Amino acid sequence: MKQLLSLCIAVTLMACKGEPKDYVTLSGKISNPDESKTLKVFKGRSYEKMISLDDDGSFKDTLKVIAGDYNFQHGKQYGQIYLENDNVSSFTTDNNNFIDSLKFGGDDSDLNNFTVQSFLLSKKFFSPKLVASNDAEVLNKALEDYQSNYDKLKENYTEVDSTHKALMDKKVAGTINQISNFIKSKQATNSAFPAGSPSPGFEGYENHDGGTMSLSDLQGKYVYIDLWATWCAPCLKEIPSLKRVEEQYKDKNIEFVSISIDEGRGYKNDKAAAYKAWKKMVDDKNLGGIQLLADNGFRSQFVQDYRVNGIPRFILIDPKGNIVSADAPRPSSPELMKLFNKLDL
């Protein structure tokens, strides 16, 4: 009788659990959704599914997946989620503050929340303004705080498996290494080009307004140089800030000189196309200051002399032709105003 009862209980429990589902159920809500009213879940080119959102941003659908990390996209916003068949997973967020308000629920919620919180730590400690500040002491302190806060975060998410924690450890170490190399690069630049030393010069660069110009033509004024290219997204992002700075200091003893290193890179090595793109962008974006074109792109002597290996790069030179900063703050950085305020402009 006891054996029969045990068998009945076992059968009942198995019946309650049922067969594992060959799909994951994903649901949630995106507040203030954009007009597309869609959520795309994808993994490279191997998997993609479009999910329709209700008018209030709610959604629910099933997806047949191979267990792993997937990306999702709503409008211009992106996120990441671990999905596995037979799971019931969910997330909520506000489209106006997508990543910061992202919260996961259901199966593997600890893993998914750990992932997004780890990303938010890097966002918190390495804001674009902080990274562009050129302050090695502040950046080194941010690195220490980032590591210690990440260690605390791992302790809070005890349910996350060691494999995923190891993967995140590797990403965090990569971020720290990247920022550390960035600091070393800036320190090396400042060491190689100390303030007060003579600046390398350039001669005969084509002026968009006509004729040519050399650095020596600008002696007697401070010169803030922007090395950029039409294909460089971070360079283009600085343009609005550069315009504001130019307007603010238009009556001061300073010239703003933008030197394009367009030479074919980004245009399939077609120098004619690169030249045309430079001329057109200066006109279309109504770029101010003095717009020059370097004579040989990244291989131009002036660019080589300053050991430029990435753009945008900003350089500040004093009225006597001496270096103020070989790696000056970007126009978008508050540090630039602090630097200008120290000068007799």
Residue-level pLDDT, tens digit, the chain, 345 residues: 445 444 444 444 444 556 889 999 999 999 999 999 999 999 999 999 999 999 999 999 999 999 999 999 999 999 999 999 999 999 999 999 999 999 999 999 999 999 999 999 998 988 776 776 667 788 888 899 999 999 999 999 999 999 999 999 999 999 999 888 888 887 888 888 999 999 999 999 999 999 999 999 999 999 999 999 999 999 999 999 999 999 999 999 999 999 999 886 666 677 888 899 999 999 999 999 999 999 999 999 999 999 998 899 999 999 999 999 999 999 998 889 999 999 988
Give residue 10's pLDDT: 46
Residue 260's pLDDT is 96
* Global pTM exceeds 0.75: no
Closest CA relative to residue 293, chosen from 280, 284, 305, 306? 280
**pLDDT at residue number 90:** 97
Q: What pLDDT does residue 266 have?
A: 64
pLDDT value at residue 154: 93
Residue 20 — φ and ψ, nearest 5°?
Answer: -60, 140
